[in-house]
Structure 1
């Protein structure tokens, strides 16, 4: 029988990643565990670089995996990614970024280098299909963090925005501005975050005495200007305000109103979730409910460090409260 790293892990009842870190003498593994791993490896005749046994290494190496679509959002996910990179460089650690195409995701193709021999931890940035996340979780036992995404039943720590509370607070702000009727725009099937923002929207309706209609609840709309223009043109009477799940929808919505000689916020109000370049380009500047993206990057880094040193700890979700940024659209 061929003796592998997995053989050593199975004999000790630990993960393959723990064995990998111990054999490389990483300081994320206790000295007792290291001793046990070295002893079992020697007993089984597993070949490893013995020179690593004498000197601990501190320069952990990380991978971050994201879809091609996600990496195109420089003013949102780019900020999170850059913060993670900054922290890793400060700690004299290294990181590789793997871009996953839609074809790779559909075919279930993982980066060849993505294994416990090459990396100490994995950041998963934003949305992937359930099938691809399950594949990631089953193929590699690296410590992992999901960023701005989660799924019930998936055994991976996550860092999230408090989307439900944030959307509720956005509705509360609209109510203080005299809004009585409000609409919702987004595609809730595209991301759990968007679905949660609709939950916050719905929770606020009755408790804040806000009204909506089926025609104003637009929750399956592709994020492109043509689709939005056609949909809004079919709305016979506009609500007092629209709540948009992101800046892209709000940007197109404001373009529609301006092209139809409607003034924001005098004739109609617009409030969006997130704060990207688009929110700062409009005239007037958007009023938004937004999470601190640098803090999301830092929290993701800190949580992965914790998972690496506490591999058996209960799963964690770090939820960041978004803040209202007042512009001129409400």
Structure 2
């Protein structure tokens, strides 16, 4: 049987490109990993050559970013993160391939063949995928990092927002602005981040003694303006303020209230998570709890480099604290 870099990679449980970098004594790989690769290469009889067919180019590391086709359309949120990662990669003379996964591919657990073959030094996983799909990605030995998503039962590094703390701080700000009754609106089934924002909402609601009614907690509503209008129309009365899980819900909520001649923030206050283009398209502009998206991209890049150089290090979850941006809806 022909001995290749993949043979060494399989023996050590690392990616083929990590083997290539170790054989070239790149400092992107830890000293211990380089030693293990050279020792294993000698044991299996692998003769390394810069011109070997399975070697990667010497123009720097090659990365993949995998996301859903829907995520790629959200330019003012995930697009900012992606642009920052691409800028870091280009600055370091590295390369990146981007794969948009359709809902059908996700359901059928289809990975891009290049990723399954271990052709990359590292993989960025941007935003939400099903647990089953993430498990298939986890099985690939290439170093990887999850961005704005995490799963407690997966051994993958992640960078995410401190959603619970952010929600608690948001509600404390509302309480300081004379809010006594409060509602929640969103779809917590859509994302673990949204679930965490709801957990923070519930914790803060109890801690700050907000008054509420069951019908003001709308937590399984699809992000659709027509659905939202119907849900609000059915309410007999309204809370002083609404906490929205993202800008899309807040945008529709503002449209509804203004079309019914309610003044924001005089008649009703609105505070939303995130700071996308939508937050600056309303009048007044939205008061928001915002993640630093540039920092999220930078942190994800640095964390993946760390995983490549230290593959045996403990799995990390890095939470970025969001910042309250005070505008006109509170």
Superposition TM-score, scaled by structure 2 size = 0.93
Counterparts of 1:1-330 in structure 2, within 5 Å, are: 1=1, 3-11=3-11, 13-17=12-16, 18-23=18-23, 25-31=25-31, 33-46=33-46, 48-51=48-51, 57=58, 59-115=60-116, 117-138=118-139, 140-330=140-330
Supply the distance in 2 between the matched residues of 1:35 and 1:107 (Cα, whole angstroms).
39
Measure how far apart 1:21 and its partner are: 3.3
Measure how far apart 1:211 and its partner are: 1.3
1:116/1:142 contact within 8 Å kept? no
Supply the distance in 1 between the matched residues of 2:145 and 2:243 (Cα, whole angstroms).
30
Measure how far apart 1:198 and its partner are: 0.5
- Deviation string 1:139-175 (CA, Å, 9 cap, x unpaired) is x211111000001111001001110000011100100
Residues 1:271 and 1:27: Cα distance change in structure 2 (over 3 Å): same
Measure how far apart 1:112 and its partner are: 1.4
Range with greater deviation from structure 2 (223-232 or 31-40) = 31-40
Runs (5+) with no aligned partner, structure 1:
none
Residues 1:89 and 1:163: Cα distance change in structure 2 (over 3 Å): same
Supply the distance in 2 between the matched residues of 1:31 and 1:288 (Cα, whole angstroms).
45
Q: Secondary structure at the match of 1:59?
A: coil
Measure how far apart 1:59 and its partner are: 1.1
Cα-Cα RMSD: 2.0
Residues 1:223 and 1:32: Cα distance change in structure 2 (over 3 Å): closer
1:26/1:58 contact within 8 Å kept? no
Measure how far apart 1:72 and its partner are: 0.7
Superposition TM-score, scaled by structure 1 size = 0.93
Measure how far apart 1:121 and its partner are: 0.6
Runs (5+) with no aligned partner, structure 2:
none
Supply the distance in 2 between the matched residues of 1:313 and 1:31 (Cα, whole angstroms).
14
- Deviation string 1:286-320 (CA, Å, 9 cap, x unpaired) is 00000111111111111111111111111111111
For these two proteins, the number of residue pairs brought into alignment is 325
Supply the distance in 1 between the matched residues of 2:147 and 2:113 (Cα, whole angstroms).
22
Q: Secondary structure at the match of 1:261?
A: coil
Residues 1:224 and 1:74: Cα distance change in structure 2 (over 3 Å): same
Residues 1:306 and 1:40: Cα distance change in structure 2 (over 3 Å): closer
1:27/1:58 contact within 8 Å kept? no
Q: Secondary structure at the match of 1:124?
A: strand
Supply the distance in 2 between the matched residues of 1:32 and 1:268 (Cα, whole angstroms).
60
Supply the distance in 2 between the matched residues of 1:43 and 1:151 (Cα, whole angstroms).
38
Supply the distance in 2 between the matched residues of 1:77 and 1:217 (Cα, whole angstroms).
27
Residues 1:180 and 1:31: Cα distance change in structure 2 (over 3 Å): closer
Supply the distance in 2 between the matched residues of 1:288 and 1:84 (Cα, whole angstroms).
24
Q: Secondary structure at the match of 2:114?
A: coil
Supply the distance in 1 between the matched residues of 2:29 and 2:152 (Cα, whole angstroms).
29
- Deviation string 1:213-262 (CA, Å, 9 cap, x unpaired) is 11000000000100000000001110000000000000000010011111
